[in-house]
């Protein structure tokens, strides 16, 4: 599909949701006020690992204003929170070496608390203060148990669940081990081995998680307002697995949601407990996480310890890649946890390179920490980081320019299919094209001259590249089903044309910052040739929307958008029948052009869209046998993933005295296929880069391995990137449409996060290369870590 000047598709239209957000008129879960509202406060484990010897709720129950106190023992008939991804050999799931231990995760634990913040009781009261005060009066008798939090100590640590496999949750492998071994034995091969730690992150959405659960006794209906990226998934999991309540009697609404970054995909304890408790007390219950609770209980991201090896020919061809990763899953299996370090990770290790052989081994482990699950990028940033670091380390070993080495190994330009060695088939790509564009925008030669000059003055400048790929448009249901997913990953889209020609679009793709209300309206207005003002987009309500798998994995435009496009096609097909009838022409002679149905090539013989809409609802003069109404729903299940790619460059300056890293320049060239709204895509790229730079330099969730306490439990300790810590980015793009969907769009939600982390770390290593540094094991590259690296290099260690 070509994108031309006169179309709305491709224009930077300002986000229609922003006026309400920036004037404080957004409506979030915590803004909801209902008659008879009660408030919940959770009693949480202060210990990383402790047996519960008893819970005394007497004093809490007697506290003024308290309505009820519940513990796990009260929640009879309630099941474990489900893990929606299976890894078992008997299911034929590829790569499984040791079956996933499906450990229970009770909404309120009643035997053992397994991480700091694990909820054990809930206090419900007439006011939030009363609930919080009374929660302090719940007296839990704890028997502290030894704990383990560190990824690389988990296997030998104290056992967290009563399963025969101990703290090893699963083992999984992908690729060809024998071919990889052979590649490493190739005569003359240069091999490099590095330890690569991808630290644990906290998502830190601006709005903390919240829910309001309202059970109405008269109708038996439960409404749950919840900060969710996927309200239908919440409803399905809660009804079918945990509470066993009828799905048609439950409505889940995710109103305005202030950011998710993955952390709001999952079904959490608190929303289940509030839903259950509302049925008990027959009053609405509200709970909003404090920032402290958010740090302790929102699913964390990343947390891999990897040993990676790369083998290269003397000429710089990548012969083999061998990766062994231990992935920390935390204390429990969060909703999609097992998929992240396996199918979203191993399958991306081919990168944009033609590699001789690849083998990856992953061990998932339990620790006494908050559960780890998808966090912006989910598995793909970890893969990209390993590969892009190893490519740089390889270039250093060969004393070859890192950009040159990349160029030597790129998969040549293609469209249609490129089969990787790690089970996925890329859709279309021009990887050298992206690097070429980057080099144009970022004057590389000039930089190297500046760098050499700076070195003579004792200044440490460095550049880092990242030529990345990612898998978006998640995902073909059949494929993910075969890989262990408990769900299909299609999307629904309804286009409802009203009698006056106004259009309401219902999408299963929830928007929590991405701007769907604008992008989808733009898509529809463009397709129908009507003003955007005539189009409204509704999302986030199971009561209004047919179904929805939600927003994650950069799938909204490509999967959700395509479902809408399919409905638009149906609307136009039906409209043609109506128009043909009105024009007394044959339907096959009717075409739809710029907002009107017309006889092919005869714009004067036409019926406007609005007239056809009215006729559909006032069918006096109407085709025989045709149903009235103009309202179409489609479900789109993609035939493949889409694979955006690009090339990023980061320039840093390191202060030799303190080790502080300053990001001086950042250039991003992304290829996300066709672009519906360039401004929104740029915004996604900007935010993503900030997150990725944040991981590289500042962010990191730290547990004390002895006490199991979370040391970075607030924004005073956990360093979020702030605007003044980042340079103005230069962004640009190439456009390689995907053949997978009719819109040609790939996905733009995660590119920045995936690409930027290795670019920054590569830049710091490059800055220190003159001192003999070729790698830094762990992130974030805090000033102290970099300073110590410099000291060690100077001491010749």
Partner 1 sequence: MYPASFEYHSPTTVKDALGLMGKLGDDAKLLAGGHSLIPMMKLRLAQPKHLIDLRNVPGLKGVKEDGGTIVIGAMTTWYELETNAIVKAKCPIVSETASIVGDPAVRNLGTIGGGLAHADPAADMPATAIACNFEMVCEGPKGRRTVKVDEWFQGLMSTALKEDEILVEVRVPALAKGTGAAYLKFPHPASRFAIVGVAAVISTDGKGTCSKASIGVTGAGTKAVRAKGVEAGLSGKNLAGAGAIEAAAQKGAEGVDVQADLQGSVEYKAHLCRVFAKRAVEAAAKRAG
Nearer to partner 1, 64 or 531 (CB): 64
Stretch touching partner 1 by CB under 8 A, among 276-284, 300-308, 618-626, 718-726: 718-726
Stretch 725-764: interaction string toward partner 1, x if CB under 8 A: x---------------------------------------
User: Strand 661-671 and strand 460-469: pairing?
Assistant: unpaired
718 touching partner 1, by CB under 8 A = yes
Cis amide prior to 715 (ω within 30 degrees): no
Q: Is the alpha carbon torsion for 765, 769, 775, 781 positive or negative?
A: negative
Alpha helices (H) along 298-401: 380-398
Q: How far is the CB of 657 from partner 1 (least distance, A)?
A: 5
User: Does 707 contact partner 1 by CB under 8 A?
Assistant: no
Determine if 181 is a binding residue for partner 1 (CB under 8 A): no
When the beta carbons of 460 and 471 are compared against partner 1, the nearer one is: 460
Q: Which is nearer to partner 1, 206 or 604 (CB)?
A: 206
Per CB under 8 A, does 793 bind partner 1? no
Based on the shown chain and the rule CB under 8 A, indicate whether residue 788 belongs to the binding site for partner 1.
yes
Q: Which of 152, 315, 717, 777 binds partner 1 (CB under 8 A)?
A: 717
| Minimum distance of partner 1 from residue 782's CB (angstroms) | 7
Binding partner 1 by CB under 8 A: which of 179, 423, 719, 726?
719
Identify the residue among 142, 241, 444, 787 touching partner 1 (CB under 8 A).
787
| Closest distance to partner 1 from the beta carbon of 129 (Å) | 5
Question: Binding-site residue total for partner 1 (CB under 8 A)?
Answer: 28
Is 37 near partner 1 (CB under 8 A)?
no
Is the bond preceding residue 475 a cis peptide, omega within 30 degrees?
yes
The answer to whether 206 contacts partner 1 (rule: CB under 8 A) is no
- Contact region with partner 1 (CB under 8 A), list: 21-29, 286-294, 402-410, 663-671: 286-294
Distance of CA 290 to the CA centre of its chain: 22
Binding residue for partner 1, selected from 502, 679, 783, 793, defined by CB under 8 A = 783
Binding mask 287-326 for partner 1 (x = CB under 8 A): ---xxx----------------------------------
702 contributes a contact to partner 1 by CB under 8 A: yes
- 488-524 residues labelled b (16+ CB within 10 A) or e (exposed): bbbbbbbbbbbeebebbbbbbbbbbbbbbbbbbbbbb
How far is residue 156's CA from residue 150's CA, in Å, rounded to a whole number? Answer: 11
- Residue 113: strand, helix, or coil: strand
Tell me which stretch binds partner 1 (CB under 8 A): 27-35, 87-95, 545-553, 780-788.
780-788
- Beta-carbon count within 10 A of 299 CB: 25
**Cβ proximity of 75 and 108 under 8 Å:** yes
Gap between the Cα atoms of 475 and 480, Å rounded: 7
Distance between CA atoms of 516 and 493, rounded to whole angstroms?
Answer: 13
Which range in 216-224, 491-499, 617-625, 781-789 contacts partner 1 by CB under 8 A? 781-789
The enclosing H or E element of 190 equals strand 190-201
Tell the smallest beta-carbon distance from residue 719 to partner 1 (Å).
4
User: What is the per-residue binding string for partner 1 in 627-666, x denoting contact by CB under 8 A?
Assistant: ------------------------------xx-x------
Least gap, CB of 709 to partner 1 (angstroms): 12
Residue found by looking up tokens 């022409």 in the block: 585
Instruction: State which residue, 165 or 712, has the beta carbon closest to partner 1.
Output: 712
Residue 281 per-residue DSSP state: H
Closer Cβ to partner 1, 303 or 750, answer by number: 303
Least gap, CB of 157 to partner 1 (angstroms)? 22
Window 95-134: residues binding partner 1 (CB under 8 A): 128-129, 132-133
Q: Taking a C-beta distance cutoff of 8 angstroms, is the pair 319, 356 a contact?
A: yes
From residue 209, give the alpha-carbon distance in Å to each of 222, 227, 267, 608, 795. 19, 6, 11, 46, 48
136 binds partner 1 (CB under 8 A): yes
Residue whose CB is less far from partner 1, 294 or 362? 294
DSSP letter string, 167-180: TEEEEEEEE-HHHH
Contact 664, 651 (CB under 8 A): yes
Distance from chain centroid for Cα 432 = 27
Is residue 778 at the binding interface for partner 1, with CB under 8 A as the rule? Answer: no
Measured between alpha carbons, how far is residue 784 from residues 68, 225, 407, 713, 792 in Å?
49, 44, 34, 21, 12
For residues 429 and 643, is the Cβ–Cβ distance under 8 A?
yes
Q: Which stretch binds partner 1 (CB under 8 A): 86-94, 159-167, 244-252, 778-786?
A: 778-786
Q: Which C-beta is closer to partner 1: that of 612 or that of 654?
A: 654
Find tokens 């309206």 and name the residue: 521
Q: Are 293 and 370 in contact (CB under 8 A)?
A: no
Among 186, 415, 707, 782, binds partner 1 (CB under 8 A): 782
What are the beta bridge partners of residue 48? none
Lay out the sheet containing 112-113: strands in order across. Answer: 112-113, 50-56, 139-144
Work out whether 794 is an interface residue with partner 1 (CB under 8 A): no
Shortest distance, position 348 Cβ to partner 1, whole Å? 30
| Cα–Cα distance, 316 to 406 (Å, whole number) | 9
Closest-CA residue to 549 (of 344, 336, 742, 332) = 336
Which one among 22, 97, 711, 792 touches partner 1, defined by CB under 8 A?
711
- Per CB under 8 A, 163 contacts partner 1: no
Q: Is residue 139 within the footprint of partner 1 (CB under 8 A)?
A: no
Q: Provide the residue count of the chain.
A: 797
Structure tokens at 143: 């028997």
593 is a contact residue toward partner 1 (CB under 8 A): no
| 656-685 residues labelled b (16+ CB within 10 A) or e (exposed) | beebbbebebbbbbbbbbbbbbeebbbbbb
Within positions 455 to 514, which residues make up the interface with partner 1, using CB under 8 A? none
Tokens of 121: 């009781």
Measured from the CB atom, is 50 or 661 closer to partner 1? 661
Stretch that binds partner 1, among 284-292, 604-612, 625-633, 676-684 (CB under 8 A): 284-292
If one asks whether residue 408 binds partner 1 (CB under 8 A), the answer comes out as: no
Of the candidate spans 214-222, 265-273, 385-393, 783-791, the one that interacts with partner 1 by CB under 8 A turns out to be 783-791
Least gap, CB of 711 to partner 1 (angstroms): 6
Q: Which is nearer to partner 1, 327 or 701 (CB)?
A: 701
What is the contact surface with partner 1 in residues (CB under 8 A)?
Answer: 128-129, 132-133, 136, 290-292, 657-658, 660, 697-698, 702, 711-712, 715-720, 725, 782-784, 787-788
């Amino acid at each position: 599909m070509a994108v031309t000047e006169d179309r709305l598709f491709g224009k930077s239209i300002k986000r229609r949701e922003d006026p309400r957000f920036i004037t404080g008129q957004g409506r979030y879960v915590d803004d909801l006020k209902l008659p008879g509202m009660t408030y919940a406060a959770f009693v949480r484990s202060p210990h990383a690992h402790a047996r519960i010897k008893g819970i005394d709720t007497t004093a809490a129950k007697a506290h003024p204003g308290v309505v009820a106190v519940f513990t796990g023992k009260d929640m009879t008939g309630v099941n474990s929170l489900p893990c929606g991804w299976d890894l078992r050999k008997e299911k034929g799931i590829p790569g499984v070496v040791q079956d996933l231990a499906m450990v229970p995760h009770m909404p309120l634990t009643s035997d053992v608390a397994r991480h700091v913040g694990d909820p054990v009781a809930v206090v419900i009261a007439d006011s939030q203060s009363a609930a919080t005060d009374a929660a302090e009066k719940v007296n839990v008798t704890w028997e502290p148990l030894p704990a383990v939090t560190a990824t690389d100590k988990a296997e030998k640590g104290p056992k967290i669940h009563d399963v025969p496999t101990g703290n090893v949750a699963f083992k999984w492998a992908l690729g060809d081990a024998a071919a990889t071994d052979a590649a490493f034995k190739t005569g003359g091969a240069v091999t490099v081995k590095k330890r690569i730690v991808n630290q644990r992150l906290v998502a830190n959405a601006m709005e903390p998680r919240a829910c309001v659960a309202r059970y109405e006794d008269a109708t038996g209906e439960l409404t749950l307002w919840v900060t969710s990226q996927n309200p239908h998934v919440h409803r399905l999991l809660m009804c079918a697995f945990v509470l066993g309540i009828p799905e048609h009697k439950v409505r889940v609404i995710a109103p305005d949601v202030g950011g998710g970054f993955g952390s709001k995909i999952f079904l959490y304890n608190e929303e289940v407990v509030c839903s259950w408790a509302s049925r008990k007390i027959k009053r609405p219950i509200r709970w909003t996480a404090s920032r402290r609770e958010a740090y302790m209980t929102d699913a964390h991201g990343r947390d891999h310890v990897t040993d990676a090896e790369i083998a290269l020919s003397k000429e710089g061809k990548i012969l083999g890649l061998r990766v062994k990763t231990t992935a920390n899953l935390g204390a429990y299996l969060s909703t999609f946890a097992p998929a992240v370090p396996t199918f979203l990770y191993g399958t991306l290790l081919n990168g944009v390179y033609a590699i001789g052989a690849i083998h990856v081994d992953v061990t998932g482990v339990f620790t006494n920490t908050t559960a780890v699950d998808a966090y912006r990028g989910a598995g793909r940033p970890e893969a990209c980081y390993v590969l892009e670091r190893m490519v740089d380390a390889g270039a250093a070993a060969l004393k070859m320019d890192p950009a040159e080495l990349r160029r030597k190994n790129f998969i040549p330009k293609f469209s249609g299919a490129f089969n990787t060695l790690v089970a996925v088939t890329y859709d279309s790509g021009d990887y050298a094209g992206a690097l070429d564009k980057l080099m144009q925008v970022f004057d590389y030669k000039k930089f190297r001259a500046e760098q050499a000059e700076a070195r003579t003055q004792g200044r440490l400048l460095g550049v880092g590249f990242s030529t990345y790929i990612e898998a978006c448009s998640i995902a073909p249901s059949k494929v993910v089903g075969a890989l262990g997913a408990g769900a299909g990953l299609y999307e629904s889209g309804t286009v409802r044309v009203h009698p006056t020609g106004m259009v309401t679009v219902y999408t299963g793709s929830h928007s929590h910052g991405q701007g769907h209300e604008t992008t989808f309206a733009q898509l529809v207005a463009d397709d129908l040739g009507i003003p955007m003002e005539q189009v409204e987009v509704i999302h986030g309500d199971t009561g209004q929307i047919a179904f929805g798998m939600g927003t994650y994995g950069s799938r909204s435009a490509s999967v959700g958008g395509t479902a809408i496009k399919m409905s638009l096609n149906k609307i136009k097909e039906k409209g043609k029948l109506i128009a043909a009838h009105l024009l007394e022409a044959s339907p096959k002679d009717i075409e739809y052009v710029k907002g009107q149905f017309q006889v092919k090539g005869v714009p004067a013989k036409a019926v406007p869209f609005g007239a056809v809409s009215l006729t559909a609802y006032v069918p006096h003069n109407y085709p025989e046998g045709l149903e009235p109404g103009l309202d179409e729903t489609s479900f789109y299940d993609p035939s493949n993933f889409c694979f955006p790619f690009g090339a990023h460059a980061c320039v840093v300056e390191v202060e030799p005295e303190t080790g502080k890293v300053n990001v001086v320049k950042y250039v991003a060239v992304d290829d996300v296929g066709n672009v519906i709204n360039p401004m929104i895509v740029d915004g996604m790229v900007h935010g993503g880069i900030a997150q990725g730079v944040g991981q590289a330099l500042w962010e990191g969730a730290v547990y004390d391995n002895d006490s199991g306490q979370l040391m970075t439990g607030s924004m005073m300790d956990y360093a979020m990137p702030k605007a003044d810590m980042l340079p103005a980015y230069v962004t640009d793009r190439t456009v390689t449409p995907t053949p997978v969907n009719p819109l040609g769009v790939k996905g733009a939600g995660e590119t920045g996060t995936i690409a930027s982390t290795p670019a920054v770390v590569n830049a710091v290593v490059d800055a220190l290369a003159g001192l003999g540094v070729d790698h830094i094991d762990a992130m974030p590259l805090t000033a102290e870590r970099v300073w110590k690296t410099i000291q060690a290099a100077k001491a010749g260690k």
